[in-house]
Structure 1
Amino acid sequence: MTTKPTFKSDAFEAIHSAAQGLYRVGAIDKATMREFDASCLTPAAALKPMQNLDVLA
């Protein structure tokens, strides 16, 4: 199950979109794309214990 990524700002969304295009055509590697992910995306919220059980069901 994937969710839509949440970006830190509209500018970061544009930067990430450009980097994603470069990744798709092979201009940047997976490690570099992960760096863009870390820079542009907001961290995922931690699940509470009961939420973890709901995801597994």
Structure 2
Amino acid sequence: MTRGARDAGASALEFAIIAAIVVVAASVIGAVIFNIVQTKSEQLDSCANQPIGSAECAP
């Protein structure tokens, strides 16, 4: 095996590891954003039928 072939294998492995890290990071960020949006949506839904200025729906 020549040095070039070993380097190419290492490059492929490094690329796979970096891609996996990016996918995990994107998944975590997506989950955090989803939870924030879901929480705000639930707050809006619970306040939809409350009178204006009620204590439960104060900002």
Common fold, TM-score beyond 0.5? no
- TM interval, shorter chain, is 0.3 to 0.5
Q: Normalized per residue, which structure has more helix?
A: 2
Structure 2 length-normalised TM: 0.33
Structure 1 length-normalised TM: 0.34
Larger-gyration structure (1/2): 2
